[in-house]
Amino acid sequence: MTDKTEHSEKMQKLLDLIAELSDLSHISAVLGWDQYVNIPPGGVEERGTQSAALGRILHEKFTTDEVGQLIADLEEEVGDLTAETDEARAVKVIKKQYEKQTKVPLPLIMESIKATTVANNAWVEAKTKSDFSIFEPHLEKIVDLRKQYADLFKPFDHIYDPLLDDYEPGMKTADVKEIFDALRPQQVALLQEIAEKEPPDNGFIKQNFKEEYQKIIGRYVITRFGYDWNRGRLDVAPHPFTTEFGLGDVRITTRYLEDDGVSALFSTMHEAGHAMYGQGVAEKYKRHPLSGAASLAIHESQSRLWENIIGRSKEFWSFFYPSMQMLFPEYLTDISLTDFYRGINRVEPSYIRVEADEATYNLHIMLRLEIEIGLMEGTIEVADLPEIWNTRMEEYLGITPPDDAQGVLQDIHWSGGMIGYFPTYALGNLASVQLWDKMLEENPNVPDEIARGEFDTILGWMREHVHQYGSKYEPQEIMIKATGSKITPEPYVQYLRDKYGEIYSL
């Protein structure tokens, strides 16, 4: 923890307050983790009340006039909030959080927490039964609450801006649209070229790999990556996620499918990427205003890098494939490394976003962005979502989901009120390649290291250029410092063209 003698009295008062709020926030996160992993159905309603009570305490402690005055005094004391010091950036981050939270009335916060807690349980039931009508009234409530929230931040360029800013600070709806508009035609063109080629076989993956062995390979892989088990654990949840209870406790979950032998492995690698970011924040930021991540896109850049750029690479599987063959000989003994590599990278429009290949994944995100914007603008009604979803899946990917579970109900995010979150997935894809390219430029031997099952150079580079800073810098600042450029689609498109050009002989 930072030495108290290093700060002015007022700065120390702010740091002490944030440390206490951090503790309470992490207690709330424990309740959330337990809700997704362990809670019996009968406990959901009371859990909503418990979470709302903590939310009320957090809000009331943070949004007092005294805290506002303290922030104002510190802004004057520090001067330039864009200076490189931790103090300046801490005040900058807290000032923005305070300005946002003081605009939100406590009753809206309480209602939102209760609504999303109950909605999550309804989503699980609706998905299990593949019946959107079970979730529909809950989503209508959530959309209404999100509109109320966004309206508090008028004037804005677009009603979606305040929601996006919660996950991607400084990013506007127009910025995302510009990036996606440049990306979409290039990805569609690539897909059209790939569609004309014979796809590699991946039938050997679509088997019932023993769950206990899937767990073994998943834990083995992320251990070699550098996931710290002394500060984390792996559990099962309906939808994989990562959560943090502090720098010393960053947990991940995954799910195991009966008809896909590698899905759990890739989701485990994905969540480990998130978790290693959380574990890599500088120790001095424990219980500190800068302890969080720069943004969700930067978070996604880490998960997608470990899952895809590394986890779906030839070098990675040249090391790990013998272990897979040993664990699952009945399916993989007669499958060569080359055929396995091509099979796991098969481009194939799919119903489920988290199972999507790299060449189609961003189209899933663009579809969701359009729907979320429509919901917020009022041009799309919740009741029409299943039909709209299926129509746009046909337009984007040429397939129509057979049921709600594989369509509009597949993602957990809306049940948690996380409208504005989805664009960060695609932005994270773009950022992952930019960071990878720069890391490779400085460390050209990394592919050989991966082929030996060594990942220290990669994790060390990410620690130095991304992880350690926590939320000290905004996402575009992180990207400029690390790579020299803001998030841009060109490197990602080139990465896809190079990779799939080889696999499909384009």
User: Which residues are the active-site residues?
Assistant: 271
d(CA 405, CA 383): 16
Which amino acid appears at position 296 of this protein?
A: L
For residues 279 and 228, the answer to whether their CB atoms sit within 8 Å is yes
d(CA 26, CA 20): 10
Q: What are the tokens at 173?
A: 């709806």
State the alpha helices, DSSP H only, in 312-422. 314-327, 329-332, 337-344, 358-377, 385-397
d(CA 79, CA 11): 13
For residues 143 and 374, the answer to whether their CB atoms sit within 8 Å is no
Q: What are the tokens at 137?
A: 């009234």
Q: What are the tokens at 189?
A: 């063109």
d(CA 45, CA 422): 27
Q: What are the tokens at 470?
A: 């926590």
Could you tell me what percentage of the chain is helix, strand and coil, using 3-state DSSP and rounding each to the nearest 5?
70, 0, 30
Peptide bond into 322 cis (omega under 30): no
DSSP class per residue in 76-117: HHH--TTSSSHHHHHHHHHHHHHHHHTTS-HHHHHHHHHHHH
Closest alpha carbon to 59 in 5, 121, 104, 89: 104
Rg (C-alpha) for the chain, rounded Å, is 23
Which amino acid appears at position 114 of this protein?
A: K
For residues 358 and 496, the answer to whether their CB atoms sit within 8 Å is yes
Element (H, E) at 243: strand 242-244
- Return the DSSP state at 252: E
Q: Is 250 helix (H, G, I), strand (E, B) or coil?
A: strand
